[in-house]
Structure 1
Amino acid sequence: MSIGPSSILPHTSIDSGAVYHALPPAAVDDDFDSELELTFDDSATDLFVVDHVVDSRIRWIYFMLGCAILLPWNVLITATSFFLSRLVGSPLRATFASYLTTTSTVFNVFALAHATATSKQSSPSQRVFWSAASVTFIIVLLFFSTFGYYQPSTFFFFAMLCSISLAICVSYLSTAAYAGASLFGAPYMQSMISGQAAIAVVVSVIQVITSALSVWNSTPEAIAAFISNDGVGDGTAEQDSARAFFGISALFMISTCMAYAWMARLPAYKATVGILEQNAKLEGTSGNVDETGRLVFRDQASIEERNQILRVFKANIIYEFALAYVFVITLAIFPVITITIQPTNPHTHPLLFTAIHFLMFNLGDFFGRYICSFPSVITWSAARILAFSIVRTLFIPIFLLCNTVQGPSRGLPVINSDFVYMLLVGALGLSSGYVSTLCMLGASSLEHNPRLRQRREDVPIASTVAGFCLIVGLAIGGFGSFGVRAIICQCDPFVN
């Protein structure tokens, strides 16, 4: 992907390892955060100033876009209890979580592949806006679904259709948003990544509050009856909690669409991401060439684009495999397996326990991404990052030893502490956020990734391909959750 030097000034590096792309001086105002670095040129024996300008307004909007990218997924998984309450009596209820994660990620893979292949033929600003608007519409539909009751099979297919639609929309949203953020530089990429984790924490906090209010006066007898009845109640608590998620999420998405529409008109945005808009227009216009010449030109451009994607994929294969494997392990466990683990304290309601476990994971994920803002904890070694990713495989046997996941016929579990279990869930999220962020930053860093060979035009492709590998990992992990659950059921017939 060609990036004109007139639109973005050459990048420079700072001690943090982040790469900053300086914006045109005319765009600087009081809302900017600026850093000045004094550099001594030995050859010219002159002192000159390099201005690293970071537009805090654009960073915050990319933070909101990061939230918007993972908001649909987090809303779906944290509303799992609501979906299950509407599937009582259906044989699909036991495997609903696996179907939800698997279908979502599989369609995400195909949509992301198409979005990546056609990224040059479409305007990134239009893709971001219309994808975000479509996500908003689907979440509104989910919000209204909490006001009615349907046949379990009908509701199952409705939930699957919403999940698939959200996955497709998010695919186009993420490719366009990541391409723009990568052109601005590492601070904006970090903002998007942090936003993805932050929205999960916000949604989980809402879930914990609503769950706590709904089960506040539950007696130990009522909790025991709820557990013995396979977690089936009247569904009121789950419904109220989901209604709050969906409603607040829809309002946030509307705000994000409005903020992005405003940002797309800023001179700084046009100067930085405008080259992608120009390329899209060139791809879509015929110019003065005839039809045959245009087809030949497009075919050649398409071949060059595919070769570029393949070259970047091969160069970053270690980062990409490590990133995919992070989410293979995470999705094989969370939330399909973790949601089956019940509290050992008879005074803790399972709904509140589940809500807190989502919050612990999302807090860990957020801090795992956030600490990558500190240079002292960042490693750029691809081999070391791959080792971190592979070591996370140990989480699978560890969680199979927790609480009641072993079932009543297995006796006392090895890990029989709610506190220890929550620490493990937090560690799962922390490692997931930390390692995945290292992969994303390393894959697209011109300064710290020698495999890119200082090809600045490869930066958007590197981030997009890495995002695609992330989704592939989610899809494989979703399928793997069926296998992990089968292991549990084989070990203990009491586990559904």
Structure 2
Amino acid sequence: MHERHRPATDTSIDAHYKTIPQAPEDDEGVIPSAAIEEPLDIEDADEASLAGIQHAHPPPVPSRIRWIHFLLGCAVLLPWNVMITATPYFISRLEGSPLRSTFSSWLSTSFTFANFFVLAYATTTAKKASSAKRVWWSTLCLAFLTFLLTLSTYVHLPTGVFFAFVLLNGIAQATAGSFLQTSVVAIASLFGPGVMQAVMSGQAAVAIVVSSVQVVSAATSLHASGELGIANDGLAEEKSAWAFFGLSTIFLVVCAGANVLLTRTPEYQAIVAPLDQSWTRRLSGEFNEPLVSQEVPATLADTKSQILRIARKNALYEFAVAYVFVVTLSVFPPLTISVQPTNPTIHPLLFSSVHFLVFNIGDFTGRYLCSIPRLLIWSAKRLAMLSAARTLFIPLFLACNITRDPSLPSTPPLINSDLLFMLTMLLFGLGNGYVSSLCMMAAGSLEHNPRLKGWKEDVDIAATVASFFLVGGLVTGSMMSFAVRAAVCGCNPFRT
């Protein structure tokens, strides 16, 4: 493979990167597919031998770009956190319904299934539309859907109607969130691993905020009712849900404004806007227009081929990030929310709210650790091993004080301590954030992922494909939660 002669004057985006090896073209300027197929045994190569590969180094990114992506990262995961954190409220509205016992599994499964399939479409069509425009309209859609949840706290619907409303709202949020996720990840990847880490941290930070609001509002409501130690009629859950639904709606509107500010920054105009414009011209048939990068695939068919090629190269990263969430969603929250406090003076609503907060604090801490250079791990094999090791948390949760079917034999829990349960939740969340962030940062990094061979045109695709596998892990884990809960709690997962 020989180096291609580049023009004397590079485009704005090329100026940010070192010269990298390029594939030869045919007479029409198209890269033959055979030229881009590379050996798949790079994982077996010694890491030291890969040090000689010339990597591209992204330019330093201003702090305002990181902060905007931090906010957008909050918006990406806000729908999911709003839905699962509001689980006590949803369950309180299903009192007396046979749907109550399996609501958490139905919610997580319907949400993640919709997220998975729409994300597949959003990933394959990412080059068809402006990422900034997708971020704008999807954020506003999420704000409207969250506002509808706010209104639901004022209206008492029949349990069957309410069940359907919540699931449909969650599916709609998953749909809008899929377009938001692919667009934010694609943009962040072009700015480098540092900005990707900001996105991942934002996803965890919003969970802490939502959980904190829920804990404070739940404690306030229970204190006002004088019922900190006993269950009530769902009024506390309703007030708590109203607070964080309303705040979430306002925050999403703010994120839409932050996206507008991002598109007006010179960094965005230099790095991201040229790629969107060149693809718009290419798809509209203006093939004579000069492209920012001559190596961009010529057709959407080439884009699909590019996606499959990158997916094969990054298989270990994709497995690692997917399995992280397979383990997480198989027990959290469908199983962990069934763990009851061993201290009878603690209200179950407050206990469940705190358990969400503890997990989210651990998740955020794990993602923050990825901003410390000494703690970064780029090896795909090591990340896959760390991901697989999270399986050990499943038997730990099974040993806690889980509410079981009264007809089943009752045995004292091995972990009969609220403090130990919360410590396990903290470590569980920390591993979730740390490993998943490292996988997302490494998958699309030209500097640290030698599988990309310095092809900057593969960066956004590599990041969005890894994001797709992340959601695939969410889907698989949510499906497994039915079996886990049925086996442990003795309930029929498909009972209606």
* Distance in 1 (alpha carbons) for counterparts of 2:287 and 2:203: 44
Residue from 12, 23, 42 that aligns with 1:6: 12
Per-residue CA distance 1:433-455 (angstroms, 9 max, x = gap)? 01101111111111221111111
Deviation at 1:403, TM superposition (A): 1.5
Aligned to 1:469: 469
Asked if 1:434 corresponds to 2:441, the answer is no
**What runs of 5+ residues in structure 1 fail to find an aligned partner?**
13-49, 227-232, 290-297
* Distance in 1 (alpha carbons) for counterparts of 2:189 and 2:58: 19
Aligned to 1:234: 233
Aligned to 1:61: 68
Deviation at 1:217, TM superposition (A): 6.6
* Distance in 2 (alpha carbons) for counterparts of 1:491 and 1:253: 37
Deviation at 1:287, TM superposition (A): 3.9
Q: Which amino acid aligns with 1:358?
A: F
Per-residue CA distance 1:362-395 (angstroms, 9 max, x = gap)? 0000000000111211111111111111111111
* Distance in 2 (alpha carbons) for counterparts of 1:337 and 1:198: 23
Aligned to 2:364: 366
Following superposition of structure 1 onto structure 2, how do residues 72-221 of structure 1 map, counting pairs within 5 Å?
72-216=79-223
> Is residue 485–residue 491 contact of structure 2 (8 Å, CA) maintained in 1?
no
Per-residue CA distance 1:337-356 (angstroms, 9 max, x = gap)? 01011000011110000010
Residues 299 and 197 (structure 1), Cα distance of their counterparts in 2 relative to 1, 3 Å cut: closer
Deviation at 1:300, TM superposition (A): 6.2
> Is residue 8–residue 271 contact of structure 1 (8 Å, CA) maintained in 2?
no
Q: Which amino acid aligns with 2:396?
A: I
Following superposition of structure 1 onto structure 2, how do residues 202-351 of structure 1 map, counting pairs within 5 Å?
202-216=209-223, 223=229, 226=231, 233-287=232-286, 301-351=299-349
Secondary structure at 1:410 match in 2: coil
* Distance in 2 (alpha carbons) for counterparts of 1:128 and 1:368: 26
* Distance in 1 (alpha carbons) for counterparts of 2:484 and 2:393: 12
Deviation at 1:336, TM superposition (A): 0.4
> Is residue 444–residue 462 contact of structure 1 (8 Å, CA) maintained in 2?
yes
Deviation at 1:51, TM superposition (A): 10
> Is residue 193–residue 442 contact of structure 2 (8 Å, CA) maintained in 1?
no
Secondary structure at 2:60 match in 1: strand
> Is residue 120–residue 283 contact of structure 1 (8 Å, CA) maintained in 2?
no
Q: Which amino acid aligns with 1:416?
A: N
Per-residue CA distance 1:201-237 (angstroms, 9 max, x = gap)? 11111111011112227778x846x3xxxxxx32110
* Distance in 2 (alpha carbons) for counterparts of 1:417 and 1:56: 43
* Distance in 1 (alpha carbons) for counterparts of 2:118 and 2:83: 19
Normalising by the residue count of structure 1, what TM-score does the alignment of the two structures yield? 0.84
> Is residue 313–residue 465 contact of structure 1 (8 Å, CA) maintained in 2?
yes
* Distance in 2 (alpha carbons) for counterparts of 1:264 and 1:467: 22
Secondary structure at 2:478 match in 1: helix
Residues 261 and 395 (structure 1), Cα distance of their counterparts in 2 relative to 1, 3 Å cut: same
- Residue range with higher mean Cα deviation, 444-453 or 419-428: 444-453
Residues 447 and 288 (structure 1), Cα distance of their counterparts in 2 relative to 1, 3 Å cut: closer
Normalising by the residue count of structure 2, what TM-score does the alignment of the two structures yield? 0.84
Aligned to 1:450: 450
Q: Which amino acid aligns with 1:144?
A: L
Following superposition of structure 1 onto structure 2, how do residues 382-393 of structure 1 map, counting pairs within 5 Å?
382-393=380-391
CA-based RMSD: 2.3
Secondary structure at 1:127 match in 2: helix
Structure showing the higher strand proportion among its residues? 1
Equivalenced residues, count: 438
* Distance in 2 (alpha carbons) for counterparts of 1:365 and 1:282: 41
Secondary structure at 2:127 match in 1: helix
Deviation at 1:52, TM superposition (A): 4.9
> Is residue 109–residue 479 contact of structure 2 (8 Å, CA) maintained in 1?
yes
Q: Which amino acid aligns with 1:261?
A: V
Per-residue CA distance 1:410-467 (angstroms, 9 max, x = gap)? 2211000000000001111001001101111111111221111111111101100000
Residues 312 and 52 (structure 1), Cα distance of their counterparts in 2 relative to 1, 3 Å cut: closer
**What runs of 5+ residues in structure 2 fail to find an aligned partner?**
1-9, 19-56, 289-295
* Distance in 1 (alpha carbons) for counterparts of 2:297 and 2:423: 54
